[in-house]
Amino acid sequence: MRSSPPGGEPPLTDEPRRALLTASPGASAEWKGCLYSLTAEARDGARSAAPVHDIRLHRTSLGTCPFEEQHRLLDTSHAPPTLSLVAGDKGLAVGHSLTGASPAATGSRFNLWHLAPDSLDVLRRESLSASICPRGMGTCLPGGITQASLAVSGDALVVEGTKSGIIPGEVGEGTRFTATYPDFFTTQAAPTVLAPPDEDASYASVEWSGCHFFAWSAPERSDTPTAESLVYVTRLPGRGCPWRAESRLIDRTFQPGPVALMGGASGLAVGYKRHRSTTADAPVSLRLLQLPWDALQAGREENLEVWKDTHGLSRPGAISLVHLSVLRDESLVVLGHKDGTFDGEPGSALRFQLSFQDFFNSTRPPTFGAF
C-alpha cells in the first residue's frame, strides 16, 4: 500500500481512523483523500428479461487523492446485487451478492474482495454460500445469502447478514449469521461463522418411497419483524417417487418457531408453535397436522393451547417444540418445553410429552407426561 507523497494528506489521526473502520451506510468509502464507490449497472441493450448487472469499483479524488481516477470491473450478477464497502488502513474490503442466470439451480452467494487502494489489484477473493441439505436426500439444494454488510473490527473483517440454508462450517443453523475473517487484509485465514438459532425461519425433512418431503416456514416479509410467517409442506420427487412435485401452504402464523416433521406408514406428521397475533394476550398453541403421503392436505388437525395463571388471571403461556417421533403402532410422541398448562393436563411440567395413540387413523385425545 503506498504512503502519501510529500505535501500530501497528513497521516490519519486516531479519530478519523476509527471513522474509516466502520461500515459505510452506502456503497462508498473514503481513504486518504480518495473516494471509492461501488456500483451495479445494468448493461445497455440487454435483451433478456433479467439484464446483467456489472459490479464496478470507482476511484475519484476528493482533492488530495495521490492516485489517478480509475475503475475496475469486479463481477456480474443477473439479479440486482446488494453492495457493501469499507476502507481500513490496510486496504479496501468490498462485498456484493451474486446471482447466476438460473437462481433456482445456483442460488446466490456473497463475494468478498481485498483490493489495493492504489492499483485496485485483487489481493484476496472469498465467497460465502449456503446450501440446504435435507437429511436422507443424498444431495443438497441451493440456498443463498439474502443480505450482508461489512465492517472492520481491528484487523478482522466482519460480515453480517441473513441467509437461507447452511454456510459450511457454521455453528447454530439460524437465519442470521456473522462471519469473522481474522486478519483479513494480511492472511488467508478461514472465517468463523456463527448463526444463532432463531425463530425467523425453519425447515425439516424426511424421505419416503423415493420422495423428499419438507416442512418449512419463512417470514412473509423479511423487512418487517412482526410480519406473519408462511408455513409450507413441499414434496420433491426423487428416483422411484410415485408422486409429482407439490408444495402447499398449510398455515399463516406469527413466530412459528422450529418446524418438526416425521413420517410413518400412513403419512406425515407436522408440528410447530402457533401465535394468532403479536399481542401479549394472544393465545399460543402447539399445532399438529396429519397429512397423507400422496396428497399434502391435512387429514387431522390438533391445536393445543397453553395457559398460565398470573395473579388470578389466565394468560397465554409459552411453548417450544423439540421433537416428533412416530412409533411402530402409528402413535405420535411430541416432546417440548412450555411455561403454562395444556387443557386437560394434570399438573404443569416445564418439559412435556404428548402421546397420540394411532395418530393417523383416529382422533383420540393425547395422554400427558413429562420427560
Select the more confidently predicted residue: 170 or 330. 330
What DSSP assignment string belongs to 327-348? -TTS-EEEEEEEESEETT-SS-
Percentage, residues of the chain above pLDDT 70: 85
pLDDT tens digits, one per residue of 279-296: 877 888 999 999 999 989
pLDDT of residue 19 exceeding 80? no
pLDDT band at 45 (very low <50, low <70, confident <90, very high): low
Contact 210, 202 (CB under 8 A): no
CB-hemisphere CA count at 13 Å for 163?
36
What is the overall mean pLDDT for the chain?
82
pLDDT of residue 119 exceeding 70? yes
Assigned C-alpha cell, 104: 433456482
DSSP 105: H
The predicted pLDDT at position 57 comes to 95
pTM comes to 0.51
pLDDT band at 58 (very low <50, low <70, confident <90, very high): very high
- Kindly state the average pLDDT of the residues 170-191: 86
- Kindly state the average pLDDT of the residues 353-369: 92
Highest mean pLDDT among 5-9, 134-138, 311-315: 311-315
- Kindly state the average pLDDT of the residues 58-78: 94
The predicted pLDDT at position 33 comes to 93
The predicted pLDDT at position 258 comes to 79
If 0-12 CB within 10 Å is exposed, 13-18 middle and 19+ buried, where does residue 11 land? exposed
Chain centroid offset of residue 84 CA: 19
Highest mean pLDDT among 40-54, 99-113, 183-197, 200-214: 183-197
DSSP 103: H
- Kindly state the average pLDDT of the residues 231-250: 84
Select the more confidently predicted residue: 108 or 94. 94
pLDDT of residue 20 exceeding 60? no
Query: Residue 303 forms beta bridges with which residues?
Result: 287
pLDDT tens digits, one per residue of 221-240: 655 667 788 888 888 777 78
Q: For cell 417417487, what's the residue?
A: 241
The predicted pLDDT at position 235 comes to 84
Distance CA 46, CA 44 (A): 6
pLDDT band at 275 (very low <50, low <70, confident <90, very high): confident
Q: For cell 418438526, what's the residue?
A: 260
Select the more confidently predicted residue: 12 or 146. 146
DSSP 139: S
Highest mean pLDDT among 57-66, 142-151, 200-209, 308-317: 57-66
Chain centroid offset of residue 39 CA: 25
